[in-house]
Structure 1
Amino acid sequence: MRPSGPSITTCRDALQLAVRAPSVHNTQPWRWRIRPGRVDLFADFGRQVSATDPKARALVVSCGAALHHLEVAFAMLGWQADIDRMPDPDRPDHLATMEFTPRSPTDLDIRLAAAIHLRQSDRRRYPRLPVASHDLRAVSRCAARFGAAARHVPDLLLSHLAAPMRRAAARHATDTNYLAELEQWSGCHGAPAGVPARNAPAARASDELPVRAFAETELSEYTDEPDSAHWLVVCTPRDNRLSQLRAGQATSAMLLQATHRGLATSLQSEPLGMVDLRDQIRTTVLQECAYPHVMIRVGVMPHAAAPLESTPRRDLAEVIETN
């Protein structure tokens, strides 16, 4: 008899990979419901970081990344996922329903699932090592499947990205609500959520494109040279919750593809939480053709670089229900 869907055990195994997805400040703002033949994804708005992400855009993008991680995990386990996004207009927190068809995993399915374990947010400066253009194209192309796009920011336009990033950092430096929130969600030691001190380098105000500064930083830089990261802006033609969810799926696909190709990555979204700075990026970098949702740094870290420690995750029992 043809199976009606994955077992509870299989769903839990897949979710164990899905919750490895990146999220804003590692808040892990998702809940999952397992039912016969389906899995539902809900946004946990109780974990919104309001000073960082006042519109909850980054929260929904984070959930989209977890949704794609789950799709990859099920593909590796022999199930093709059919995803219905935003299935209930009366439940804005109900982001997706996933149902399944048996399908043998491909070699790529297995490699991408393996990339979930290998992917880490490497916030250090990337040394001046070449990133093959075909690798950047392959990473960028992943966004199209989800109705999104990835804009590779050329050197000529990096100043247009740097300006709003610097303004965001300057505003946050004097925003007491933001600083209190950052203190709560970063510089963590042994907590199951938040950004651990051991995974965050010191603030780099001297860099052309300054990345978000965290509380308590213990990660040593690999190089003192200027950061040589390539920057990709994940964007969509519309600006609504469905677009945010799709952008998150696209982001996950790009990160796993980059990891599969041996590239280092980290996410940046600091200026995107401010309406005027997000509009500035849309106007100057995206030429008003799309709405930005997240920025991805891409580079190469040598094997000689110190390995990163795993970022903790909440216990699975905290984020799933079975009835």
Structure 2
Amino acid sequence: MTTVLHRAAQDAGLAPSILNTQPWRWRVAGEALELYADAARRLPHVDPDGRLMVLSCGTALHHARVALAHAGREPAVDRLPEPGRPELLARLRDLRARPVTPESILAYRCIRQRRTDRRTFAPGAQVPGAALDRLRASAEAEHARLYPLQRQDVVYLRYAVQGAERVGGRDPNAAADARRWTHRGADAADGVPPETVAAAADRQVPLRDFGLGDEAALAAGPGDDDGAEYLVIATDGDEPLDWLRAGEATSAVWLAATGQGLAASPLSDVVEIPGARALVRTLLRPAAQPQLILRLGVAQRVEPPPGSPRRPVTGIFDAN
């Protein structure tokens, strides 16, 4: 059983996270697997409340659940099991045998296929409505909501993103946070490498350049993302449990999108700035708390974008 748990945690290391900080640690405790937030990897000025750190850990939690399902195991999951230990986010225990289904095989395969694709999407190619319905169901299965923004609301999203850019650009501490994770060096096992960041392009909703400017080395491609869908992942509440659930929903939606041949990238800057997040909140009906936005579309190219580096499994485990 210990081997199964270690392998699940290793697979969970492929989950997306804010600035690829990978802010999680795992511990095998008997026949249980515990997930901890690694506060040393939190962005102190970009993410002062730890919202995006916990959300990132939620994506790893869902990845671990997918890996266990592929191994024929279904755990009971205790989220925030000990109020006196807020860094302990989840405990996976009582691994029961379960059939391995075609759906669990596909989801596991998508863990390795998933990429953050910041290139422009294929001009004129639309995301099918049936695909959006499946993604909405994936979010709801994780106790979250998914709001595809209407075309008229994308204009307001653009305003929110531009406002977040202006506010963030005036904050030297936030800029230092970003620089810490975007200039890690060629041998780094984390952070955002320049080859994964698209060069500037005229898009309907701009993407952040993470302070890289001309160092961004990924060709954006033609078009202005006219076929992009902007999906707001939201929750009813805005507490750590909601953030964790939002991360699980992010993973579920992104893996489901990958399984349908769609490409995606997150927009986290718009939820980092309170004013921009408040604007996005006004677009949601029924009302909810926006936690992250996924930009979704049809990739222009068959070849995937470069992957982000990952920490070795020895770097994400605490000793028993």
Instruction: Provide TM-score, normalisation by structure 2.
Output: 0.94
Q: Whole-Å Cα distance in 1 between the matches of residues 262 and 304 of structure 2?
A: 14
Matches within 5 A, 1:276-291: 276-283=275-282, 285-287=283-285, 289-291=287-289
Q: Residues 208-263 of structure 1: CA distance to partner in whole angstroms, max 9, x if unpaired?
A: 21112122311112224445310000001111000000010011000000001110
SS at match of 1:312: coil
- Output the amino acid matched with 2:289: Y
Partner Cα separation in structure 1 for residue 172 and residue 319 of structure 2? 40
Aligned partner of 1:110 in structure 2 is 105
Matched, 1:127 2:101: no
Unaligned runs of 5+ in 2: none
Question: 1:31, CA displacement in angstroms?
Answer: 0.8
Q: What are the ranges of 5 or more consecutive residues in structure 1 without an aligned counterpart? A: 1-6
- Equivalent in the alignment of 1:3: none
Give the counterpart of 1:29 among 10, 23, 32.
23
The alignment covers a number of residue pairs equal to 314
Match of 2:196 among 166, 185, 199: 199
2:297, 2:171 → 1: CA distance?
A: 31
> In the alignment, residue 167 of structure 2 is paired with which amino acid?
R
- Preserved contact between residue 64 and residue 245 of structure 1 (Cα < 8 Å): yes
% identical equivalent positions: 34
CA contact (8 A) 1:17 1:70 kept: yes
Are residue 231 (structure 1) and residue 225 (structure 2) matched?
no
The residue that corresponds to 1:60 in the other structure is: 54
Tell me, yes or no, if the aligned pair for 1:35 and 1:322 is still in contact at 8 Å: no
Asked whether the 8 Å contact 2:126–2:227 carries over to 1, the reply is no
Which of 142, 147, 153 aligns to 2:143? It is 147
Matches of 2:43 and 2:61, distance apart in 1: 20
Q: Whole-Å Cα distance in 2 between the matches of residues 185 and 279 of structure 1?
A: 26
SS in 2 for 1:34: strand
Matches within 5 A, 1:58-97: 58-97=52-91
Structure 1 stretches of 4+ with a deviation exceeding 2 A read 187-190, 224-228
* 1:16 to 2:10 alignment: yes
Give the Cα separation in 1 of the matches to 2:32 and 2:319: 11
Tell me the residue number matched to 1:183: 179
Question: How big is the shift at 1:160?
Answer: 1.7
Range with bigger deviation, 154-163 or 82-91 = 154-163
The residue that corresponds to 1:166 in the other structure is 162
Give the Å deviation of 1:105. 1.0
Whether the aligned pair in 2 keeps the contact of 1:231 and 1:296 (CA below 8 Å) is yes
Shifted more, 158-167 versus 20-29: the winner is 158-167
State the match for 1:252 in structure 2. Answer: 251
| RMSD, aligned α-carbons | 1.5
| Paired residue type of 1:318 | G
**Residue 292 of structure 1, CA deviation:** 0.4
Q: Distance in 1 between matches of 2:226 and 2:265?
A: 13
Q: Give the CA deviation at 1:38.
A: 0.6
> What residue in structure 1 maps to residue 305 of structure 2?
308
